[in-house]
Structure 1
Amino acid sequence: MTVWFVIAVPLVIMFFALIMERVESRLKNAAVREDEVEEFLEQAQPNEVRALYGHGIGRALELFRLRRVGGRAAKLRPRRVRS
């Protein structure tokens, strides 16, 4: 009985470590970088803060990125002059 215990415990620990490594690699890809959060907290608008409160950091950063990209695109795009 002890022999099976001695063999089984290291195997279980090894498989658990392999599974946790896969979980960690997926979380690294989905994680938010620290500099993104700092920039968001410094420049967030009220609707983005509401999204942070209501839906979490993922949705709030999505709105923040859309605003930043939209702002850059508006700067690059020439404005039409109405006659």
Structure 2
Amino acid sequence: MAVWFVFVVPLVIMLFALFMERVETRLRNGAVREDEVTQLLEDVRPDEVRALQVSGIGRALELFRLRRRGGRAARTRQRVRM
């Protein structure tokens, strides 16, 4: 009976470690960076404030990122035209 524990316990520990690695990866990808929140609060627009109030920080940051990406794309297009 003790022989089964020798094989089962390490197997259970390895499976648990693999499961926790998947959980950690999902948490790391969904994490909000501190500098993004700081930038959002410094340069916020009314629609982002509304999204922050209604839907939370995730939606507000999503709108902020879209606005920032759009702003960069517009500036790049202007440079190309010149």
TM-score, normalised to structure 1, is 0.63
Gaps of 5+ in 2: none
Instruction: Quote the RMSD (CA, aligned, Å).
Output: 2.7
1:55 has 2:41 as partner: no
Aligned length: 78
Q: Name the structure 2 match of 1:81.
A: none
* Equivalent AA in structure 2 for residue 67 of structure 1: R
Distance 1:41 1:2, change over 3 A: farther
The SS at the match of 1:31 is: coil
Q: Give aligned-pair identity as a percent.
A: 72
Aligned counterparts of 1:28 and 1:58: Cα–Cα separation in 2: 14
Moved beyond 6 Å, runs of 4+: none
- CA deviation after TM superposition for structure 1 residue 73, in Å: 5.3
Gaps spanning 5+ residues in structure 1: where? 79-83
The answer for the alignment partner of 1:36 in structure 2 is 36
What is the TM-score normalised by the length of structure 2?
A: 0.64
Q: Distance in 2 between matches of 1:76 and 1:8?
A: 59
